[in-house]
């Protein structure tokens, strides 16, 4: 340090000028906390003179107190102890002040005096508060967004995930969880592709990207379909500083799309079945009359005594084939719903039991295990018992055919009280239905079985019966492990039987 006596008069002079020229009020305090003087800015700011402050205690002038501060908290004591500056911030009404205390060391390096300066930081504070408010607002917007928002630095390290993003991706814990890097948000290789597209001006503009449908992976490795928009964040100089992406889970949208597609398919199916039904009814009625004639005259001929054995045999064939045609016509009438129906209040479980009794002894079921998982609850429906028996039998026979005589058929009943629906499921362990056949199985005469043995009317009859009961039938599941058909009946509710009771 330069000794005082070596200092030129000029240097001493400008050193004094520096103190006076400081733009903020400053005072010199002795180690016993007595004010020794102040700079010009101080005297002017507080309209005080040297005489008025000299010898006064600092706590009096600075903190407007009459007693000294606790020595542990006294900033001047800290400056003397540490030989370095300390500061604190103070607020008078709307004015914010930063008070900085710096040591003035003597020739031996000890603290001879302390310089205290009062810096007006009101404007800085107000800007800081505004900035804090804006940050707080942006944070609220991000965190209350219904979309998942993720931000990352230039290297791809994730530094922000809002609550929806945490839920979508799972296990992000401020960089502590499994997910830390944007590469972990996508299937392998996808993150690089996204970054490449983001920088490609031809895709959505430079630094911007919108992908209506893409795949992300969550922390459990599950792939999720999302709509995604991303952007590069640039600093004032136009350099890339971060990236951000917004994701919207498409689960609900896909579900609605699938439901719509299903509804359209069902509509097309029922329209097709309705016109096929009309056709079937027309054909059945047209054939019925000539067929009755063929059967009648063939039977009459067969009763005659004057015919030879060959002719008798031929007549037998005619009658057999005509009877087969008659049963087809009968089936067509059931399918087209032209046959009469007699509905009563019945227990679905009883129908299932009855139908199984009817087929119990058939050779087809010898090596088949039939399991019943019937609900204990009341399963009342309005139904034509014999038609429902026919429906169950057709479905069970198909199940047995699909298993080539060996396997398990499970019949399950249950109800959904809220939806007022009663369900019957028939599950087999057969070969399944190829996807290409699914839209045809309910068509009359569609069969994959041996021609001549099967007419392909079984499921069309089932369909007709189901429709007649205001029910619905569908293939719930099918594949190499088997097929499950489900029939959904409207649950019987008391007012259904005699609505007039409720009316005036
Ligand atoms: N449980 C099932 N598993 C696999 N395929 C089935 C099943 N049920 C029906 N199918 C398929 O649907 C087709 C149509 O069935 P449907 O009952 O209408 O006729 P069918 O059984 O072939 O002949 P029919 O019932 O007149 O004797 C069957 O030929 C078969 O290909
Ligand atoms: Mg069948």
Q: What is the dotted CATH code of the domain comprising 145-249? A: 3.30.450.20
The pLDDT value recorded for residue 61 is: 75
Residues with CB in 5 Å of ion ligand 2? 398, 458
Which residue owns the Cα nearest ligand 1 atom 22?
447
Q: Which of 452, 458, 466 to mutate to test the pocket of ligand 1 (most atoms within 8 A of CB)?
A: 458
Cβ 475 under 6 angstroms from ligand 1:
no
**Torsion sign over Cα 53, 57, 58, 60:** negative
CA atoms within 13 A on the CB side of 144: 6
Q: Is the CB of 398 under 6 A from ligand 1?
A: yes
Q: Among the atoms of ligand 1, which is closest to the Cα of residue 432?
A: 4
Q: How many angstroms separate the alpha carbon of residue 342 from the centre of ligand 2?
A: 24
Q: Please check the confidence at residue 499 and state whether its pLDDT lies above 50.
A: no
Q: Residue range 462-479: average pLDDT?
A: 93
Comparing 165 with 6, the larger pLDDT belongs to 165
12 lines ligand 1 (CB under 6 A): no
CATH architecture of 340-496: 2-Layer Sandwich (3.30)
Q: How far apart are CA 482 and CA 227, in angstroms?
A: 36
Please, which pLDDT band fits residue 501 given cuts at 50, 70 and 90? very low
What pLDDT score does 503 carry? 39
What is the Å distance from ligand 1's center to 471 Cα? 20
For the sheet with 472-479, list strands across it: 368-373, 407-416, 421-427, 482-490, 472-479
Arithmetic mean of pLDDT, 388-401:
94
Q: Which atom of ligand 1 is nearest to the CA of 426?
A: 1
Residues of the chain with CATH 3.30.450.20: 4-125, 145-249
Radius of gyration of the chain (CA): 46
pLDDT of residue 165: 92
> What's the whole-number mean pLDDT along residues 410-422?
91
Which residue's alpha carbon is nearest to atom 11 within ligand 1? Answer: 441
Atom of ligand 1 nearest to the CA of 482: 3
Q: Ligand 1: which of 449, 462, 475 to mutate, most ligand atoms within 8 Å of CB?
A: 449
For ligand 1, whether the C-beta of 331 sits within 6 Å is no
List the residue whose alpha carbon is closest to atom 31 of ligand 1: 448
Question: What is the CATH number that goes with domain 4-125?
Answer: 3.30.450.20
* Ligand 2 centroid – CA 329 distance (Å): 16
- Residue 4 confidence (pLDDT) above 60: no
- Give tens-digit pLDDT for 14-28: 877 898 899 999 999
Share of the chain above pLDDT 90, in %: 53
pLDDT-derived band at 399, boundaries 50, 70, 90:
very high
* Lowest-confidence pick of 160-164, 221-225, 245-249, 274-278: 274-278
Q: Which ligand is nearest to the CA of 407?
A: 1
Whether 428 lines ligand 1, by a CB cut-off of 6 Å, is yes
128's enclosing H/E stretch is: helix 122-143
Q: Residue 223's pLDDT is what?
A: 93
Read out DSSP for 339-364?
Answer: S----EEEEHHHHHHHHHHHHTT-GG
Convert the pLDDT of each residue in 111-130 to its tens digit: 999 999 999 999 999 899 89
pLDDT above 60: residue 2: no
Q: Is the CB of 430 under 6 A from ligand 1?
A: yes
pTM of the model: 0.52
For residue 388, the model assigns a pLDDT of 94
CA dist., res. 474 & res. 481, Å (int): 17
Give 469 or 454, the one with higher predicted confidence.
Answer: 469
What's the pLDDT tens digit per position in 300-353?
999 998 999 999 999 999 999 899 888 888 877 777 766 677 889 999 999 999
Question: What pLDDT, on the 0 to 100 scale, is given for residue 500?
Answer: 42
Instruction: Give 270-311 pLDDT, tens digit per residue.
Output: 787 777 777 877 888 788 888 989 999 999 999 998 999 999
As a whole number of angstroms, the distance between CA 302 and CA 236 comes to 106
State the average pLDDT over residues 27-41: 93
CA of 458 to the centre of ligand 1 (A): 7
pLDDT number for residue 331: 77
456 lines ligand 1 (CB under 6 A): yes
| Mutate which of 456, 485, 487 for ligand 1 pocket (most atoms within 8 A of beta carbon) | 456
How large is the average pLDDT for residues 481-503? 74
Output the average pLDDT for the chain: 88
CA distances for 56 relative to 32, 51, 64, 101, angstroms: 11, 10, 12, 17
Q: Judge if the beta carbon of residue 68 lies within 6 A of ligand 1.
A: no
Burial track 445-470 (b if 16+ CB lie within 10 A, e otherwise): ebbeeeeeeebbbbbbbbbbbbbbbe
């Amino acid at each position: 340090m330069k000794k005082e006596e070596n200092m030129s008069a000029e240097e001493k002079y400008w050193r004094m000028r520096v103190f006076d020229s400081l733009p903020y009020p400053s005072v010199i305090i002795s180690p016993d906390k007595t004010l020794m003087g102040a700079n010009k800015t101080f005297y002017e700011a507080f309209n005080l003179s040297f005489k008025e402050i000299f010898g006064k205690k600092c706590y009096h002038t600075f903190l407007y107190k009459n007693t000294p501060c606790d020595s542990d908290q006294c900033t001047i004591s800290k400056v003397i102890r540490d030989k370095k500056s300390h500061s604190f911030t103070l607020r008078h009404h709307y004015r914010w002040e930063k008070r900085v205390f710096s040591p003035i060391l003597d020739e031996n390096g000890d603290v001879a005096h302390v310089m205290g300066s009062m810096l007006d930081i009101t404007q800085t504070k107000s800007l800081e508060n505004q900035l804090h408010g804006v940050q707080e607002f942006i944070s609220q917007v991000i965190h209350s967004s219904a979309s998942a928002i993720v931000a990352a630095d230039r290297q791809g390290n994730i530094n922000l995930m809002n609550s929806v993003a945490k839920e979508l991706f799972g296990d992000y814990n401020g960089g502590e969880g499994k997910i830390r890097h944007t590469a972990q948000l996508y299937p392998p290789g996808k993150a690089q592709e996204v970054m490449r597209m983001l920088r490609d001006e031809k895709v959505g503009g430079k630094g911007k990207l919108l992908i209506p449908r893409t795949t992300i992976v969550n922390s459990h490795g599950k792939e999720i379909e999302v709509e995604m928009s991303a952007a590069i964040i640039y600093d004032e100089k136009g350099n890339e500083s971060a990236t951000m992406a917004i994701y919207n889970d498409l689960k609900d949208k896909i579900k609605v799309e699938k439901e719509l597609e299903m509804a359209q398919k069902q509509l097309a199916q029922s329209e097709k079945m309705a016109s096929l039904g009309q056709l079937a009814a027309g054909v059945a009625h047209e054939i019925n009359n000539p067929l009755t004639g063929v059967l009648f005259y063939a039977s009459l001929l067969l009763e005659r005594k004057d015919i030879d054995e060959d002719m008798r045999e031929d007549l037998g064939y005619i009658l057999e084939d005509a009877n087969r045609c008659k049963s087809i016509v009968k089936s067509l009438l059931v399918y087209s719903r032209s046959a009469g129906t007699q509905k009563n209040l019945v227990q679905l479980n009883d129908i299932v039991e009855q139908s199984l009794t009817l087929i119990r002894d058939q050779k087809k079921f010898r090596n088949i295990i039939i399991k019943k998982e019937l609900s204990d609850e009341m399963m009342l429906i309005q139904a034509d018992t014999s038609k429902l028996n026919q429906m169950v039998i057709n479905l069970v026979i198909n199940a047995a055919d699909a298993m080539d005589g060996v396997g398990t058929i499970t019949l399950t009943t249950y109800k959904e009280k809220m939806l007022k629906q009663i369900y019957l499921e028939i599950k087999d362990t057969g070969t399944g239905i190829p996807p290409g056949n699914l839209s045809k199985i309910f068509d009359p005469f569609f069969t994959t079985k041996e021609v001549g043995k099967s007419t392909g009317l079984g499921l069309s009859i089932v369909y007709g019966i189901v429709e007649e009961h205001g029910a619905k039938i569908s293939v719930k599941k099918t594949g190499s492990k088997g097929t499950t058909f489900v029939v959904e009946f409207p649950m019987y509710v008391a007012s259904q039987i005699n609505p007039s009771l409720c009316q005036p």
